[in-house]
Amino acid sequence: MVAFLKSLFRTKPAKTVTVQPFERHFELRGSETLLEAALLNQVPFPHNCTVGTCAACKCRLVSGRVKAITDFGYTLSKQELEAGYILACQAVPLEEETTVEIIGSGIDAPPTEQFAGTLVKTEVLTHDILRVVIDLDRPLNFVAGQYANLGHEGISRSRSYSFADAPEPKGSNSISFMIRKVPGGEFTEALFAGSLTGKPLQVEAPHGDFFLRPSTAPMICVAGGSGLAPLLSILEDARKKRVDRSCTVLFGARTTADLYALEQLAVIGRGWKGYFNFIPVLSHEPEGSAWAGARGLVTDFIAPSLGREPNDKTEMYMCGPPGMIDRAIDTAAGHGIAIEQIHYDKFTDQSTTAPR
């Protein structure tokens, strides 16, 4: 009995974490997450949302075991999970020694700053997507494909939206987004009602590591709904820089009424250096309509778009809802595209966020 009581009060061994490639070592206290402990020990660990939705803190578990506070599968793909990736903000180490590796994206992005913005214009693109223009108090530098957190004093928390324009060489004084209405969403309900027009907004930017990697390999872009925004930013920036590589853009929508930015994509295509093909795909267009284009799921058109190039050289860039992204990754991986060549940005909202 004495031995049993002693065991209850015996000091548990400290848990040690190593973060590569920094080779930083530190101890965890209590039930801290891996990210919390890393930041407390001044480790420059990439992060943003801290609730398991943005994937900024994605890293590879080299050794040890962790407990997931929220299932990693809500944000990471099956292929990433099988490769050992975890989310540091949702991971609690279970063993005395744990090692993780931060996989650098290679992005040379400006530091995140706080800006004062004013919502100056909205434009209806579809029944549930607005183009939103915000003027800033000073120029903002970002990398095409990144996003900003937008906040308003009357809204409980900030929301993340991708830039829809290419960055300006000397910084952008005005930025735009393509924002989809989320039924019951605090921010978008106010936005679509017009109550935010002319109002001050807090802008925190830039964030994210979704960007065009330097390469001459063929690229396939897949977008759904407002997920077209960051791809337009990337493609317009690449057109201006005369990037020379084959590009196919697959845009999934429900009906012709949900298509937008078609003229902008046509301009990009006309100015693209190299092969460029844009394929809009409609999933719910009524039979018998005048639509003569592609029908079905946008992910069904990935395989036919791969062409004659070896698939392990093709790069994928995808933005849209989680279901579309997961199907696209399965399709791409099934046709020989390596997980390292697949880059994506899942658009999550309160309807797709993991339960907590």
Q: Mind listing the pLDDT tens digit for each residue in 70-84? A: 999 888 988 899 999
Contact 278, 269 (CB under 8 A): yes
The pLDDT value given to residue 312: 64
User: Residue 162 pairs with which residues in a beta bridge?
Assistant: 147
Contact 114, 183 (CB under 8 A): no
Contact 98, 18 (CB under 8 A): yes
**Annotated domain spans of the chain:** 12-101, 113-207, 219-346
The pLDDT value given to residue 355: 41
Tokens of 158: 């900030």
Mean pLDDT by 10 residues, the chain (356 residues): 52 83 88 93 87 88 95 89 94 94 78 96 97 98 96 89 96 97 94 95 93 93 96 98 96 98 97 96 96 97 78 87 93 90 78 44
Which of these CATH numbers, 3.40.50.970, 3.40.50.1820, 3.30.1490.100, 3.10.20.30, describes 12-101?
Answer: 3.10.20.30
The pLDDT value given to residue 298: 97
Q: Do domains 12-101 and 219-346 have the same CATH topology?
A: no
Phi, psi (5° rounding) for residue 104? -65, 135
The pLDDT value given to residue 352: 47
* Fold entry, domain 219-346: Rossmann fold (3.40.50)
- pLDDT tens readout for residues 296-355: 999 999 999 986 555 668 999 999 999 999 999 999 999 889 888 999 988 765 444 444
Q: Which amino acid is at 14?
A: A
Spatial separation of the C-alpha atoms in residues 175 and 132, rounded to whole Å: 8
Which of these CATH numbers, 3.40.50.300, 3.90.45.10, 3.40.50.450, 2.40.30.10, describes 113-207?
Answer: 2.40.30.10
